[in-house]
Chains A and B, each alone.
Chain A
Amino acid sequence: MTLRTALFIAIIVVAGQLGDLALSRAMKTIGEVKRFTPANLLRVLGRAFRIKWMWIGIALMTVAFFSLLALLSWANVSLVVPATAASYLAGALGAQFLLGEQVNRERWIGVIIVCIGVALVCV
């Protein structure tokens, strides 16, 4: 694996997960959705797209998406596997340290098993 490939895998994992974490932060600001009527859902979505974190999330996911396209232009699809599997670990770390979620030991064990499983499915 070249340095450039490693760098792009890191960008895909970090930007992709930070994007999802930003989206999660935006939705936490809105708070628990309790009524699932079409009118209320539209109102919730309208509010979400007026939150700064939503757009930060979209921007980061766009960076991750185009980095993936770039990576695939010179690397084999199989190189995406470490990125996909590592994303689950990076996402849980980010949720704990950036969003203040309590990731207990049980959840960590589950996340690690999922990572290994995803890596095996994708090889």
Chain B
Amino acid sequence: MAESKSRRGKTFILLALMVTFGSTGDVLLSQGMKQLGELRSWAPEKAIAFFTRAFESGTIWLAVALLMLFLVSYMLVLSWADFSFVSPASAIGYVLVALMGYFFLGEHVPATRWIGVSLICVGVIVVGGTHPSTTQNQ
């Protein structure tokens, strides 16, 4: 029982890290790419110049680093937790992004999105009530 309790604890810690790294990484990547402006042509020299500029941006490097940390936390939690637990639980990231947009960026969040955010919270709580791990690890 103590074993299963500590496993539940570390599952939630890793999920929190995943969601934090993943959402912040996504937001920074989108911000970094918008600063670059639109990629208008796929002609090789234009595309190469575009991606070279992308890799000169500090924001994009920070985003890539965060997304790599996301991948590591994702892999670690999947070493013991069910995919059918981790995948719906990580949808809480949408809630985080909506809240960050509302409180820090002063974005207008339409009513349908608030309803969606509330439903995701309910769904994640329901999934969170199940056992994180139902397969036998060797």
Chain A interface (Cβ < 8 Å from any Cβ of B):
20-21, 23-24, 27-28, 30-33, 36, 41, 44-45, 48, 88, 91-92, 94-96, 99-104, 106-107, 109-123
Say yes or no: A114 contacts B82, CB within 8 Å: no
Residue in B7, B83, B117, B130 whose beta carbon sits within 8 Å of that of A121 in the complex: B117
Q: A31 to chain B: which residues have CB within 8 Å?
A: 79-80, 137-138
Say yes or no: B88 contacts A23, CB within 8 Å: no
Cα-based distance from A32 to B3 in the complex (angstroms) = 12
Q: A95 to chain B: which residues have CB within 8 Å?
A: 82-84, 87
Say yes or no: A33 contacts B87, CB within 8 Å: no
Residue in B78, B82, B116 whose beta carbon sits within 8 Å of that of A120 in the complex: B116
Cα-based distance from A123 to B122 in the complex (angstroms) = 19
Q: List 18 A-B contacts (CB under 8 A).
A: A20-B87, A23-B78, A32-B80, A32-B137, A41-B76, A45-B75, A92-B87, A96-B84, A102-B135, A107-B84, A107-B127, A113-B123, A116-B123, A117-B115, A117-B121, A117-B122, A119-B116, A121-B98
Q: A119 to chain B: which residues have CB within 8 Å?
A: 116
Say yes or no: B119 contacts A101, CB within 8 Å: no
Residue in B75, B76, B79, B120 whose beta carbon sits within 8 Å of that of A117 in the complex: B120
CB of A69 to closest CB in B, whole Å: 11
A114 and B84 contact, Cβ closer than 8 Å, known pairs A27-B75, A31-B138, A45-B75: no
Say yes or no: B127 contacts A117, CB within 8 Å: no
Residue in A33, A48, A104, A113 whose beta carbon sits within 8 Å of that of B119 in the complex: A113
> Within B98-138, which residues are at the interface with A (CB < 8 Å)?
98, 112-113, 115-130, 134-135, 137-138
A110 and B112 contact, Cβ closer than 8 Å, known pairs A95-B83, A116-B119, A117-B118: no
Cα-based distance from A121 to B115 in the complex (angstroms) = 8
Cα-based distance from A122 to B94 in the complex (angstroms) = 9
Say yes or no: A101 contacts B135, CB within 8 Å: yes
Say yes or no: B119 contacts A120, CB within 8 Å: yes
Say yes or no: A114 contacts B79, CB within 8 Å: no
CB of B8 to closest CB in A, whole Å: 13
Q: Which residue of A lies closest to B112 (CB)?
A: A120
Q: B120 to chain A: which residues have CB within 8 Å?
A: 113-114, 117-118, 121
* Most chain A CB within a 10 A radius of its CB, from B121, B134, B137: B134
